[in-house]
Amino acid sequence: MNILVRNLSRDTNEVELKRLFEPFGKIASLNIVVDGATGESKGFGFIDMPNKEEAVAAIKQLDSKTLKGEKIRVKTTKRVNTATKHKMERRYKNYRANSSSWSLKQENKSK
């Protein structure tokens, strides 16, 4: 079962995330999404747990748990292939780069 973990502290690493999920069962894969240009965490990651019951238990127990001062959000997600994942990361990067200019455009339209 694929799990999305959001609102991670930017300094949370994969080892720490793995330690958080390991008590619930086997982890097939785990990764924290990082910015390609800076190498910094984007504050979310994905975990794949092959056993559905273990994954559901992890989600129920860890959703809204505080990790490194941040209240994390844990939920199921659909499996995302690599091409789609990169497309989503590019959209996020473009959104972040253009978010301030978007706000200004919206303010100008409302005048």
Residues in the chain: 111
Could you tell me if 29 and 59 lie in one domain?
yes
- In sequence order, what are the residues at sequence separation of 6 or more whose Cβ sits closer than 8 angstroms to the Cβ of residue 31? 14, 45, 46
pLDDT of residue 84: 62
Confidence of residue 102 (pLDDT cuts 50, 70, 90): very low
Could you tell me if 24 and 74 lie in one domain?
yes
Over residues 34-73, the pLDDT tens digits come to 988 888 999 999 999 999 999 999 999 999 999 999 999 9
Could you tell me if 92 and 69 lie in one domain?
no
- 80 has a pLDDT exceeding 90: no
The range of the structural domain enclosing residue 84 comes to 80-111
Could you tell me if 59 and 86 lie in one domain?
no
Could you tell me if 58 and 7 lie in one domain?
yes
How many domains does the structure of the chain reveal? 2
Q: Read off the tokens for 26.
A: 């086997």
